[in-house]
Amino acid sequence: MRNCVDDLLILHRFDLRGRLARAPVIRSVIWSPPTPGWTKVNTDGVALSSPGVRGCGGIFRNCRAFVKGCFVVPVDHVFAFEAELLAASIAIKFAWQNRWHRIWLESDYSYVVQLLSSRFEQVPWRIRQAW
């Protein structure tokens, strides 16, 4: 259940009780700018189910937090880590095309960082081909 009024009204109409979804955990995150001369990109992948319809995106900023560019891409039927990895891959290509060769990539998925550090030996073949 999504804890929305429509769901509650439907359940009430059939005299049923629903199990409310847990409230999301909210945590404070502080963004820090990159060193002057560098471009920082924050990437993320999102999921509806695993595997399922997904998307990924990224935002590029300079040392004054000015947005230099961004992207959002729908990605069909991949696992969550693949969506995260695709976001990193697209971010690197996007930066290279814009001649931003000094980039600082941040991802909230530690597996992406491990794969990028492993010289691509464990990167899924679908993503490795796109590189």
The model's pLDDT over 10-38, given as tens digits with 9 standing for 90+, comes to 877 888 777 777 887 888 888 899 999 99
What average pLDDT does the chain have?
83
44: helix, strand or coil: strand
Contact criterion met (CB below 8 Å) for 18 and 11? yes
- Structural domains of the chain ordered from first start: 29-130 (3.30.420.10)
Q: pTM for this one?
A: 0.71
**Which of 49-58, 95-104, 119-128 has the highest average model confidence (pLDDT)?**
95-104
The residue-averaged pLDDT of 107-114 equals 79
d(CA 101, CA 95): 7
